[in-house]
Amino acid sequence: MDFMSTDFDLAENVFYFHNADIQSLAFVLDWDTKDKFYSTLLSKSYADILDVPNDHSMVLAKPGKTNYFHLKIPAFDIKYIEDCFKIKDFPDPTKYLIKNTSPASYTKNDIFDCWLYQNKSWSDLVSISENKNDNHKIISSSTNLISKAKRSNDDFDDIMMSNDQKIKKNTRMPYSHKEEISIVKYIIKNNYAFNVTGVTMWQKMERDRVCKYRTWQSMKQRYVKHIKFDLNSGNHRFPFLSPEELKLLRLGLNIEKIDKEKKDAMKSRFLEQRMHDSDSDSS
């Protein structure tokens, strides 16, 4: 397999960057080719591409060609992506660590817990000292560096706060693919394909806690400004959608055009179905 070749066939060498919970894995690309080969490849393989690192992202760089430095989040050789495709698995990331990008050093399990399984964060990890007599040395936290970094509104969104949660108001976190799936499934299940431009459906979605920490405004914006384009390019990110369901979602977003009479008939049919479902639930 010639990884960087123009003949590289993603269909034949498919590999998805998500974990067992169908959460997309996050990457920050400190380096890429002029034609954005890695960015394009990762996007087509279910990965999330971020502008700045967060507590569950992996920074990828080119050894010898990076000025990246972070107290807690090291960078890894971008060759890691190539080897994932070659072995169809996630190799030991410690072998790809670019040492001069961070004073922190972690075990394979620590990195996987943080980046792959997402049950820890970089700010939680304790660095392994190269001095055997000081194996428990703690690298000072760089949480402030993360929180002060410039965030892109396209990739991050506000999370709601309740009194019993540790998540603070105005904390910004990237949408996971699992959250996007929940939004799409909710719309299909409740026959809301033609209600996505309004407000009522999204407010109900918030009350139903479809995305636990998201506001209805946030979910609506994510759907009409991001998920819309995934639906327009096909259903590869939502393989559970039937062709008919995909067509309905695209019609509701005015991506796919049909004559007004047919569209009104479809809206009427879905309204009747929703009223029938509501009557069934109340009986």
> For residue 43, which of 24, 21, 57, 61 has the smallest C-alpha distance?
24
Residue 55 gets which letter from DSSP? T
pTM: 0.48
Beta-sheet strands, E only, within the chain? 26-29, 48-50, 57-61, 75-77, 97-98, 156-158, 172-174
pLDDT at residue 107 greater than cutoff 90: yes
pLDDT digits (tens, 9 = 90+) for 77-100: 999 999 998 888 899 999 999 999
- For 49-66, write each residue's pLDDT tens digit: 999 999 999 999 999 999
Return the structure tokens found at 46.
């279910």
pLDDT of residue 66: 94
pLDDT tens digits along 38-50: 998 998 888 999 9
CA distances to 3, 9, 278 from 117, rounded to whole Å, are 27, 28, 38
Which residues have C-beta within 8 Å of that of residue 189, sequence separation ≥ 6?
A: none
Q: Which distant-in-sequence residues (6+ apart) come within 8 Å of 12 by Cβ?
A: none
Q: CA 127, CA 74: separation in Å to the nearest integer?
A: 11
Structural domains in the chain plus CATH codes: 10-116 (3.40.50.10190), 177-281 (no CATH)
